[in-house]
Chain A
């Protein structure tokens, strides 16, 4: 049982599955996943738009939009995929550019957003992902750009309607340059004006499927300044401004920090950050390059010390006990009961990515309750004994005292509880 292989599937991936062999060459296994992922099936933009419109008029129509079917497909991959690194890496970017079902219009479009705006670009250039996200109906809804008007635009009625700054503010602060970018409130206001007219619709003839639509009638006329640069009027001004932000050195630093915080430590070492940042700068924001750099960083192979999120833990436990398709529905419910419902982060900053977000008393107690209940079933049905489960899940990474206690547990059930709830199982 190779410690390095278990480290790779636990830290970079989503945890070992008893029915999937551990990679013989962990680095190679990781590098092989750095490729453009195959497209995922699901409702297309026309369907999402139609359902979104119908739900707006009648909130009782498909109350959860396309969420249930999209969620099952998405969680099925987390549970079963042999490419755990690809899926974890994808989830990181979904969280970086998060949308939440807590906002109207996201239940219908959320699955489409993650499948088509984020996932195809996770190993491509950040600016392509960023642009796709910012033009997607889920994001335009979530951060209120659909309600934004240039006060000087024709639809703005001489300033009666104004720009909504939500998308501009969050995108500067969270998605791109961050406060380190040194922008001021006037830059927020200006980016909001640059993005006026970025909206949702069905094209000039009303024939195309619903999707991004630039509504010139709402767009603030004239060139605008953003962080010392000038951007022209029109849709292309917005594209240029977002590309400028995506390529900004402070954005690269932000992305490097996101990656290192997720994969290395809550407070990642400066050397690792510098290497990731340098690889992003040199490659023009190529996330595949950043992933290759990450895998090669010695810091990423230090003992597991990241605390698993509620989702990480639920997924790792279900994978660990070999749950198949039948585990998808329980996983979806579990995420709700764990207070980390899928695609429903409480705020645009996304789910926390550091330990204090995941070690509150109730969070830990719910993990314990859940594996206690699971273990009753495992005691009756699971093909392995508890010590074998420890071996499969953590192998040489499990401390001697855990192996001993699990081997001496008074019953199979208590043995499984110890095997699934010992502190090492909360690490990745």
Chain B
């Protein structure tokens, strides 16, 4: 499996390598806006970036929200703390949809642009992580997914994006969106790099009671399962390309099986009900005097003070806080929130049965990366429906990986492989096998040795 971390660390580099890398990243950041700020200096380790909702000690963490602007955490997230300082060099925080609330990476100021076509979105919410991975040759990004925030931008930007089993990586130091759905994951240009970093950051953490020490397995199956309902609504060009991809996999010894999972399309409203309910409580802590953005007029009454502070939320954050508060209302929670939790149980059971027979394979997204102007004009339900393929594994906490399998009109197309709980290595190794005979394309290679 390709992994360039060790070879990078062992390689002899020119004396001015770090300075050149910094300048190249700065120039590309001016063009694609993937980082929140340029770093002053880059160390000698393997370059890594961090999504802006994951805390790095002494570096502003705003989750791309105005309400957190200026917040500087005095601690590292566990995932960051576990990266050996001598082996990894921090290059900056990456932009994202505000608090992870978005599909296209455009719910933030000065949003990132797609390195394959600047008129198109990067995908979100780990927008800057994907764009940075697409332009920097030797690089990993510590990203995060709630409902598809790693797979979607990985697909649109033509990189590899891995989301581990829920609980496999500690969430300590993550600025929450939805606690029961958030997973810290990894993006890079190869499955080998991802496996290397995953082994460093995973494992139980006493500071996150939802993290677990369950052994990670590799029950690798040569059986691939296509869920027919997930193919509904996919762009015809992607479907044709996906059929060719399946044929190629068959020639490599894989068998393809088609299955149906009743009501799988209901996973989208199920996910949004749970995530909005949890977001509405998590975002309640932003009150204008403890973190980030400050209201300085303390003569105001309690309610006015908090309402003024929360005016810093973007439109999508306001919409989701309102909806999340509504679905938790007394008298309504049985209809929405509790029903959604029961549905999640049902989907976990049905999908686990399917995953015991092999990996689920599909295109990652139903379309190529849309133009920015088109994405911005979609109504909320059309936007939420774009997550139809990435939501089921995220809702149920299954490990999954997105990797490029074709290019259409110069734009990358991603495939998503899903496995059962704690069988994370199987999807990483599957992507690694694919990379042995398919070359990923990139328009930029900052820091190439």
Partners in one complex: no
